[in-house]
Amino acid sequence: MRLTVAQMHEVIAHCRAERPNEACGILAGRGGRVVRVYATRNADLSPQSFLINSEDQFRVMTETERDDLEFTAIYHSHPTSDALPSQRDVQLTTYPEALHLIVSLRREPVVGRAYRIVEGHVTEVPLIVEKEVSDVR
């Protein structure tokens, strides 16, 4: 999956802001490239789990369908553990087309890793963070 430096910063800032709780959100895009970052509320308000607020999810689904965007990835933070999918992450996966970006805040610098999780099988996929064209000289 590909996202810009600014988008990655937005995700990390959201994850830091929600600490000590987990943060969660949806990265909408096309063809594996993120177009929009949706920072959603964690209905669990927990340091160890997340549940995307149903109202937020409904709004994101409505907007992405309207704008012909896909769920490129679902992101969440692990405030005190590594950026590896937990058993809970694997068990509760519902949208097989969406990748999973996990941001670990366990130590600095923070670590982000992306995975495909389908029917209990986990595969790490490349996470490509690109400079915006306007940044390239």
Residues that bind other proteins (CB under 8 A): 22, 24, 26, 44, 46-52, 54-55, 57-58, 61, 65, 74, 76, 78-81, 85-89, 92-97, 100
Among 39, 2, 11, CA closest to 105: 11
Minimum distance, C-beta of residue 38 to other proteins, in the bound complex (Å): 11
Q: Which is nearer to other proteins, 5 or 45 (CB)?
A: 45
**By C-beta, is 68 or 136 nearer to other proteins?**
68
* C-beta separation of 43 from 52 below 8 A: yes
- Asked if 84 contacts 73 with a C-beta cutoff of 8 angstroms, the reply is no
User: Shortest distance, CB of residue 4 to other proteins, whole angstroms?
Assistant: 23
Strand order in the sheet with 24-30: 121-125, 111-118, 99-104, 70-78, 24-30, 33-40, 2-4, 128-130
| Shortest Cβ 18–other proteins spacing (Å) | 12
Min dist. Cβ of residue 113 to other proteins (A): 14
